[in-house]
Amino acid sequence: MTLTTSDSGLDLSQTEELVVVHDRSSGLGAAVAIDDTTLGPAIGGIRWRPYPDEETAIIEVRRLARVMTLKSAVAGIPSGGAKSVIFRPNPPGGEARASLIEAFGRVVRRLDGRYVPGLDMGTTLDDLRILSTQAPDICVLEPSDQTSVGVFAGISAAVEIRWGDGLADKRILIQGAGHVGSALATRLAQAGGAVTVADVDEERARAVADSVDGKVIPVREVVGHPCDVFAPCAVGRLVDHETVGVFNCEVIAGAANDVLTHRGTAKLLQDRGVDYVPDFLINSGGVIAIHAARAGWDPSRTSASIAEIGTRVGQVLLEARRSGRTPLEIAEQIASERVGRRVSVPD
Ligand code: NAD
C-alpha cells in the first residue's frame, strides 16, 4: 500500500528537523527525521529497504521517529527520538554498500551529534562500523537481547495483572522469530510459558520453536489464533479496525514498533477487554542499552533500568483499569510530561 502525506496521520509541522539527501556521487537517497531533541541527542535506527516511492519512505521515517521520542521519554532516559531511512538504491552488498554507508555517514556527521544512529531493518553491525569511520560517537551495538529482556519483563507484568499469576502454562504466540522474537521465546519458555511461533521464514520458525519445545503455525493464521498473549515481533501496523475483532488473545505485548494502524484502535482493543501494552512502552530495552553504552553506565545499572520496563507496564495497566483511559493515552501522557509538550503516536 502506498501512503500519501494526507493519510500519514502525522502533523508534519511537528518533526523537529527533516533532512532529505540525494547524493549525486554515491547515488544515495536517504532521509533523517529528528523528531525531538528536547531531552537529548535523538536515538534511532537506520532502516534500509525498498520503498515504492520517496514520499512513502519519508512518511515512514517521520512516524518511526515520533515513536522513538515517545520511547526514550517514557523510558526516562535523556535522549530524543529520530529515525533514518535509505530509500535509494535498494540494499546492495560488497564495496557498493560500503560507499553508500560512507556517504550516509557524512550526512550523520553534518548533524553534529544531534542524531545517534543505530540498527534497524536492513542494516548491520558492519554498516555501523563503516559509519563510525565517517562520523564520531557512533554506538556499534546490537541491542536485540536487551530489547527481549524488556519485552519479557513487560509481558510478565501484564500477565501478573491480568491473571494474578506467572507465565507458567500461559499460551504465548510470537510473530517473528528474528533477533528479538527468538530470544524472547527462550525467556518465556524458561519461565514455563507455552510458546507458539510464526515467521515468513518457516525454517527459522521451526528452529526457534524446536529450541523451546514449542509449536509453529503458518503466518496467515496469526490473526485469530487462540492464545493468552500475542507478542508481535515482526512487522508494524498490524492491528487495525478490521483485525481488532479477529485477534483471539487477552494481552497484546511485543517488540514490533508502530503496531496499531490508528490511535483509535487502542480504545477498540480496550472495549473488547484486550490489554494492549503500547509498543514504545515495552520495547525500550534496546534504546536504554544504547544510551547506557554512550553514558558509560555499569552493567548493573543498565539491567536495573531495563527491568524497570516491567514496573512501568504494570503501573500503566493498573492506571488504565482505574481511570478507564487506554494504556496508550497514559503512556503518551507520561512521555508528554517529560518532553514538556504534547507528543502522541501518529494517527
Ligand atoms: P529481525 O529482522 O531480526 O526479525 C524479524 C523476523 O520477522 C524475521 O525472522 C522475519 O522473517 C519475520 N517476519 C517478517 N515479516 C513477517 C510477517 N509478516 N509475519 C511473520 N514474520 C515475519 O527483527 P528484530 O530485530 O527481531 O525486531 C523485530 C521487531 O521489533 C521489528 O519490528 C523491530 O522494529 C522491533 N524492535 C526491535 C528492536 C531491537 O532491539 N532489535 C528494538 C525495538 C523494536
pLDDT of 150 above 50: yes
Q: Is the CB of 288 under 6 A from ligand 1?
A: no
What atom in ligand 1 is closest to the CA of residue 234?
7
Residue nearest to atom 32 of ligand 1 (CA): 256
CB neighbours of 292 closer than 8 A, spacing ≥ 6?
Answer: 301, 302, 305
Helix (H, G, I), strand (E, B) or coil at 336: helix
Q: How far is the CA of 232 from the centre of ligand 1 (A)?
A: 8
Q: How far is the CA of 178 from the centre of ligand 1 (A)?
A: 6
Question: What is the C-alpha separation between 270 and 321, in angstroms, rounded?
Answer: 10
Question: What is the C-alpha separation between 347 and 343, in angstroms, rounded?
Answer: 12
Which pLDDT band, with edges at 50, 70 and 90, does 166 fall under? Answer: very high
Please, are residues 136 and 110 in contact by the beta-carbon 8 Å criterion?
Answer: no
Domain ranges of the chain: 5-131, 144-339
Residue 3: per-residue pLDDT: 39
pLDDT of 12 above 70: no
Fold topology of 5-131: Rossmann fold (3.40.50)
- Stretch 30-55: mean pLDDT: 97
Q: Is the CB of 47 under 6 A from ligand 1?
A: no
Residue 14: per-residue pLDDT: 85
The three three-digit cell numbers of residue 116, written as one number: 545517534
Same fold, 5-131 and 144-339: yes
Residue-wise pLDDT tens digits, 188-243: 999 999 999 999 999 999 999 999 999 999 999 999 999 999 999 998 889 999 99
Question: What is the C-alpha separation between 78 and 323, in angstroms, rounded?
Answer: 29
pLDDT of 2 above 50: no
CB neighbours of 137 closer than 8 A, spacing ≥ 6?
Answer: 113, 116, 294
Please, are residues 244 and 270 in contact by the beta-carbon 8 Å criterion?
Answer: no
Give 75 or 263, the one with higher predicted confidence. 75
Q: What does pTM read for this prediction?
A: 0.95
Residue-wise pLDDT tens digits, 110-137: 999 999 999 999 999 999 999 999 999 8
Helix (H, G, I), strand (E, B) or coil at 111: coil
Average pLDDT of the chain is 95
Q: With residue 67 as reference, give the H or E element that holds it.
A: helix 54-75
Which residue, 254, 256, 250, is CA-closest to 270? 250
pLDDT of 13 above 80: no
Which of 3.40.50.720, 3.40.50.1820, 3.90.25.10, 1.20.58.340 would CATH assign to domain 144-339? 3.40.50.720
Question: What is the C-alpha separation between 141 and 295, in angstroms, rounded?
Answer: 14
Question: What is the C-alpha separation between 236 and 326, in angstroms, rounded?
Answer: 19
Q: How far is the CA of 181 from the centre of ligand 1 (A)?
A: 7
Bridge-based pairing state of the strands 17-23 and 28-36: antiparallel
Residue-wise pLDDT tens digits, 254-288: 999 989 999 999 999 999 999 999 999 999 999 99
Question: What is the C-alpha separation between 303 and 165, in angstroms, rounded?
Answer: 23
Please, are residues 112 and 122 in contact by the beta-carbon 8 Å criterion?
Answer: no
Which pLDDT band, with edges at 50, 70 and 90, does 303 fall under? Answer: very high
Task: Write out the catalytic residue numbers.
Answer: 83
